[in-house]
Structure 1
């Protein structure tokens, strides 16, 4: 590989990582703001959790349009705009006093902004790294999963010292600026910079599928259903983590010299980030579906253990990290397997459609999970739902997705071979 090309794509990976870290906090530290926002707005927890749902829905449901705009126009300008919108959402949320005001600021601006950045950077990385697609997508997805690790304790401390309004304003400006500056160095690879994807026993496509045709395939909708189920389970934990930690009586316990809740949130960000390049790398070696089966089954086991030891603050904090390690890889595995299957030409827009599954998952993961708790008076039914979804998705990955994709790619290779001119 040309030295300049190699250096350039690693620079792109680094910039993408920084931009993703900058826009991760609106989702992953949301749980820290729920208590003061409930006090200000007078809303109930299920009502307030619709903010989280709005954020994820707008982040995901508009992603096909955002992917198209990024493919059509300058990636760096669109991604910089997304980072600015994300930071602006926090700054504006600090200045409202009503529930609808929180929806219209934190939910709307952060949702649209983070969606542009996330889809845009994933779309760039699958093009820059066809030979290490799982790993590269995992690295930038790790930025989204781990970025809040750097902000959790400072935000928690500033909330205590200065209140949530000052905290939202300061961090909104800082994180928005950092994301925008990183985005200005991003670009798509030129035609002479695109490496061919290595042949791997029918693991990657030999032709590109446009979004319109992709949406007609049962294979895409199977992936969509699987990502929806995994997103639902994971977001049930993300959106309500502080609430069930308090309900289990472990939130304010002291472990390893730290308060349990911010310690667990920070530890979760680490594992949620590390899992993405790790399982992406593993899937490059042993196959996407095999990796999915292992990881999804592991999350079911981790959730069950978390439930068993829920009243032990040490076990709760450490097992929550295992849960996130077994969940966060969906953000490297699904975009990689989608591009392996349907090609790189329309990768950003195609992933925009698949990423909508995250939005559907947020409907169940945030307010509906809180509603179940409100009706049942217990988080146990919510945990049971998560375990069931994990086991079902693991089974689908190995026994349904794997043979369906093998058949699709085999037919694609046959079509490509028949399209070649006959030898003289």
Structure 2
């Protein structure tokens, strides 16, 4: 009786070439999974407007009271970013993103059955905000880890999918509300979106020393050390980044929250047409597309010419478009085009700043560090939303607000190139010298 050779039964180890192929593919697999998850979590924020009237009718509440739900969503998505980052560091990316996906699904399904406004605050405002925040932080962490040489592009692609994702769901959800009602729509899409996020999260995993290919090794322009949140918060560099991001976010979030009021200010009514389409819905559609496309575009540019020079270009673009909108906004075509340029000039902060943060402070604590940076969005939403509205009520004019926002954009552009860049270069060089010593 002959015995088979043990060499034919033993598993064949992967060749070095095979391992290199796996390592080369892995970052792109993570990018695709992250893009899918980001598209799925965009709906709670960007299709909320479709739910406003049905909820007002079913709950019999005022518009202002109902919109507290959306404010709570923003607070629990971005305002408590440090808590999201802290939790992300305690779990695997797979577990954390899946938990976020389940929370999003639970929030929509439970919102379908609420009978009072306080319950809606909890189900849609709090649960959706936390769920989307968890997925967002998990995905951004993976992008900055897996793509050190293409960090701006990868973060931009993921963040761009968050901006563009609702385009896929807006019309199906609107049709479902008309044909099947609010309750059925929330349940069905809650299940679908949650399932997509959970399935995408199953393949997510962080970088380890053995699965990062040489092609993706960290470039010499980034920090050689990894700083935790406490160390980062002690540096003037982080607070300058935070300050600049908040300034630019203020203008963009003013445009998002006040676009309807701005249209009225410029005389753009429901009957105003551009290319045969209502001007305001057309502007909203183009704005959403611009807000998504700008993130991978300027992220890709920043990988080639640097983060801070890219900020100079983008921020000055927003300042110019704000001033042009103030001058020519009464023209429907100009209103539609220039509002899109405003969005194209500010949305890139969600690719440039996470990438720059990872460049400066490393990727080991990326989730927790990014959580602190997210608070800049909450600050911008307050300044660009209720504060800008209050200033308008006091002055009865948008002119002062437009000039202030353009001034903030110009200041942010100059600070980015002439203060932030040299400060960041000195910090990175200092970190490398400390490591070598």
Flag whether TM exceeds 0.5 (same fold). yes
Conservation of the 8 A alpha-carbon contact between 1:57 and 1:111: yes
Higher mean C-alpha deviation, range 92-101 or range 222-231: 92-101
Distance in 2 of aligned mates of 1:179 and 1:38:
29
Conservation of the 8 A alpha-carbon contact between 1:250 and 1:313: no
Distance in 2 of aligned mates of 1:92 and 1:240:
30
Map Cα deviations across residues 254-307 of structure 1 (whole Å, 9 max, x no partner): 433433333322222221111111111111111111111110110111122223
Asked if 1:305 corresponds to 2:324, the answer is yes
Q: What is the CA distance between 1:341 and its match in structure 2? A: 0.4
Q: Which residue of 1 aligns with 2:27?
A: 9
Q: Which residue of 1 aligns with 2:208?
A: 190
Map Cα deviations across residues 218-243 of structure 1 (whole Å, 9 max, x no partner): 11111111112222221222233344
SS at match of 1:193: coil
Alpha-carbon distance change, 48 to 390 in structure 1, aligned in 2, over 3 angstroms: farther
Distance in 2 of aligned mates of 1:17 and 1:384:
36
Q: What is the CA distance between 1:251 and its match in structure 2? A: 4.4
Distance in 2 of aligned mates of 1:51 and 1:376:
28
Counterpart mapping for 1:19-418 below 5 A: 19-34=37-52, 37=55, 40-45=59-64, 47-96=65-114, 98-159=116-177, 164-194=182-212, 195-199=216-220, 203-245=221-263, 248-417=267-436
Count, aligned residues: 414
Distance in 1 of aligned mates of 2:60 and 2:288:
28
Distance in 2 of aligned mates of 1:31 and 1:242:
12
SS at match of 1:326: helix
Q: Gaps (5+ residues) in structure 1?
A: 420-424
Higher mean C-alpha deviation, range 103-112 or range 239-248: 239-248
Conservation of the 8 A alpha-carbon contact between 2:268 and 2:280: no
Conservation of the 8 A alpha-carbon contact between 1:242 and 1:251: no
Q: What is the CA distance between 1:361 and its match in structure 2? A: 1.9
When Rg is computed on C-alpha atoms for both structures, the one with the higher figure is 2
Alpha-carbon distance change, 259 to 368 in structure 1, aligned in 2, over 3 angstroms: same
- Root-mean-square deviation over aligned CA pairs: 2.5
Conservation of the 8 A alpha-carbon contact between 2:268 and 2:279: no
Distance in 1 of aligned mates of 2:434 and 2:173:
55
Distance in 2 of aligned mates of 1:377 and 1:91:
42
Distance in 1 of aligned mates of 2:241 and 2:341:
24
Q: What is the CA distance between 1:331 and its match in structure 2? A: 0.5
Higher mean C-alpha deviation, range 121-130 or range 186-195: 186-195
Q: Gaps (5+ residues) in structure 2?
A: 1-16
Q: What is the CA distance between 1:167 and its match in structure 2? A: 4.2
SS at match of 2:367: helix
Q: What is the CA distance between 1:144 and its match in structure 2? A: 0.6
Alpha-carbon distance change, 373 to 80 in structure 1, aligned in 2, over 3 angstroms: farther
